[in-house]
Amino acid sequence: MTTKKKVTLYKGSELNTKGWVQEAALRMLANNLQDDVAENPADLVVYGGIGKAARNWESYEAIVKTLKRLENDETLLVQSGKPVVVFKTHADAPRVLLANSNLVPAWANWDHFHELDQKGLMMYGQMTAGSWIYIGSQGIVQGTYETFAELGRQHFNGSLSGTITVTAGLGGMGGAQPLAVTMNEGVCMAIEVDEERIDRRIETKYLDCKVYTLAEAIEKAEAAKAEKRALSIGLLGNAAEILPQMIDVGFQPDVLTDQTSAHDPLNGYLPVGMTLTEAAAARQNEPDVLIAKAKQSMATHVKAMLVMQEKGAITFDYGNNIRQVALDEGVKDAFAFPGFVPAYIRPQFCEGKGPFRWVALSGDPEDIRKTDEAILEMFADNEGLCKWIRMAQEKIAFQGLPSRICWLGYGDRARFGKRLNDMVAAGELKAPIVIGRDHLDSGSVASPNRETEAMKDGSDAVADWPILNALINSVGGASWVSLHHGGGVGMGYSLHSGMVIVADGTKEAEKRLERVLTTDPGMGVVRHADAGYELAQETARRTGMDMPMLAK
Ligand code: NAD
């Protein structure tokens, strides 16, 4: 096993490979592992517990070497972070195909995964970690912003002003919560066990301040609430300990959620009564004890959430499967609070909307500024989108290669993709743009406790959809396509696919972009139309989609 070397951040207008598609894969893989992007780059961990970009450093180096020699009519296959073969394919085929953490259903649990992981046969790809399109916390900010904005519309007359949101977890994804709440004018108190994570969020401007005691956190939060001032506070502590203390002292938040890495009881969630160092030792010496303690703490955590919900807090699960763990631990009403997708996001999925992102391969922030101008001009009538882009320009610090995210839907993604390609062709940008998305998208995931929770027709666990999504995007000529298991909610609970495509300014890319940026969000519309959602059916009819069994 080689140890970590500093990962080069490739940027500029010169190729290190034989084409911009391979180059984009190389740059995005390396970008995922930059010190200011990844949560723990030394172990190749990008975010989300142990979500990795490559299986080990030998595999990383072999992938880099292979991408540098890969021809424009070849495809590299990556099995759980290890490059396994290069096949001759054709120019329009994806340059890379990846499959991460997939297990046969009866074996699809953490125990079996850990066994394979320890033998060096697998890695956990999470979502954008193993599919090389993680862009730091910005990648989740808009989705988190949209969630809190919708919550504000549904419960607080359109804004979180004068409300306190309590949450936990300031990791790669969870770190977006304080900024998303303050962007919605509210106060956020985020409990986090790891002081370094708190400091990191302050450095990157996602969090305003840090406190060490609950009393101090309450004092600051209530003062800001009274003045209707937006403020985010990082409170050092364990959520399973702090929430019961809040109940004891009579502190009641208006909004309550959680984004600790509860999907992974071994590596993600720190049990009450243990320090981070003790947990690291227990992980090696007595993993079963650690897992049992973590699950008990999660049950305590959920019980406290249920008490606060009962007292009136708007409470929701933020996609980490904590309710399932609590239920398994005997908390019978663990699912009494909803998941964020059915509560706040699904209508957007019905229109094929989801987290669309793009990255300037040049590394020049000016390229992203120009693309921001393009989106503001093209979608000038979309007030929410324009507000988001302006806010992002002002408040979001880039991590690694400059990038931008916004939620765009069916039709709009293809239109904007063409515009980006035109900008590259015209020489307006210094290098090509790479376009991708989270797997948490409208048509690319089956996850019954999260994205497909409480589907109208009960098809929550049907996983044909992400597979069809990966297949059609490959056929259409995406630059790299991936199929993963266990992202977001852990082993056994999800299947999902990723898609990334390069706008290099060529006519060939224009055709691929048109195809893939249509089929990809199109799958979201189809999946929801098929499940009986009227908004999705209307979207399909309005846009002339050819669904053989949809009534005209
Ligand atoms: P991460 O592993 O980078 O961060 C988790 C954080 O939780 C860490 O900083 C850790 O120190 C902290 N933590 C662990 N136990 C704690 C406890 N008991 N009390 C307080 N803090 C504790 O993970 P991430 O990328 O931020 O993702 C968080 C969770 O959200 C994961 O389960 C992930 O799968 C899920 N997720 C949600 C979405 C979404 O859109 N809602 C998207 C992707 C992932």
pLDDT tens by residue, 26-51? 999 999 999 999 999 999 999 999 99
- Most ligand 1 atoms within 8 A of CB, residue of 320, 322, 399, 450 to mutate: 320
How many angstroms separate the CA atoms of 524 and 228, rounded?
38
Q: What is the pLDDT of residue 163?
A: 98
Q: What is the pLDDT of residue 331?
A: 98
Q: What is the pLDDT of residue 416?
A: 98
Residue 289, burial from CB neighbour count under 10 angstroms (0-12, 13-18, 19+): exposed
Q: Respond yes or no: is residue 406 known to be catalytic.
A: yes
Residues 6+ apart with CB under 8 A from 170: 177, 178, 190, 192, 194, 197, 198, 200, 201, 206, 207, 234
Q: What is the pLDDT of residue 6?
A: 79
Please tell me if the CB atom of residue 170 comes closer than 6 angstroms to any atom of ligand 1: yes
Looking from the CA of residue 39, the nearest atom of ligand 1 is 3
Looking from the CA of residue 269, the nearest atom of ligand 1 is 15
Please tell me if the CB atom of residue 358 comes closer than 6 angstroms to any atom of ligand 1: no
- Cα(253) to centroid of ligand 1, in Å? 20
Q: Which of 423, 444, 419, 428 is nearest to 498 (CA)?
A: 444
What is the mean pLDDT for each group of 10 consecutive residues in the chain (552 residues)?
75 98 98 94 94 97 98 98 98 98 98 97 98 90 91 94 98 94 96 97 94 98 98 98 98 98 95 97 96 98 98 96 97 97 94 96 98 98 90 90 95 98 98 97 96 97 98 98 96 98 98 98 98 98 97 85
Please tell me if the CB atom of residue 198 comes closer than 6 angstroms to any atom of ligand 1: no
- Cα(319) to centroid of ligand 1, in Å? 9
Q: What is the pLDDT of residue 138?
A: 83
Please tell me if the CB atom of residue 26 comes closer than 6 angstroms to any atom of ligand 1: no
332 — phi, psi (to 5°)? -60, -35
- Cα(374) to centroid of ligand 1, in Å? 34
- Cα(206) to centroid of ligand 1, in Å? 15
Supply the DSSP string of 437-455, one letter for each residue. Answer: E-SSSTTSEE-TTTTTTT-
pLDDT digits (tens, 9 = 90+) for 52-108: 999 999 999 999 999 999 999 999 999 999 999 999 999 999 999 999 999 999 999
Q: Is the ipTM of this complex over 0.95?
A: yes
How many angstroms separate the CA atoms of 497 and 128, rounded?
10
Q: What is the pLDDT of residue 271?
A: 98
Looking from the CA of residue 487, the nearest atom of ligand 1 is 34
Nearest CA to ligand 1 atom 33: 488
Tell me the sheet residues that pair with 51: 47
Q: What is the pLDDT of residue 4?
A: 66
Please tell me if the CB atom of residue 488 comes closer than 6 angstroms to any atom of ligand 1: yes
In one-letter notation, the amino acid at residue 298 is M
Please tell me if the CB atom of residue 221 comes closer than 6 angstroms to any atom of ligand 1: no
How many angstroms separate the CA atoms of 379 and 365, rounded?
21
Average pLDDT for the chain: 96
pLDDT digits (tens, 9 = 90+) for 177-206: 999 999 999 999 999 999 999 999 999 889
Looking from the CA of residue 270, the nearest atom of ligand 1 is 15
How many angstroms separate the CA atoms of 285 and 282, rounded?
5
469 — phi, psi (to 5°)? -60, -45
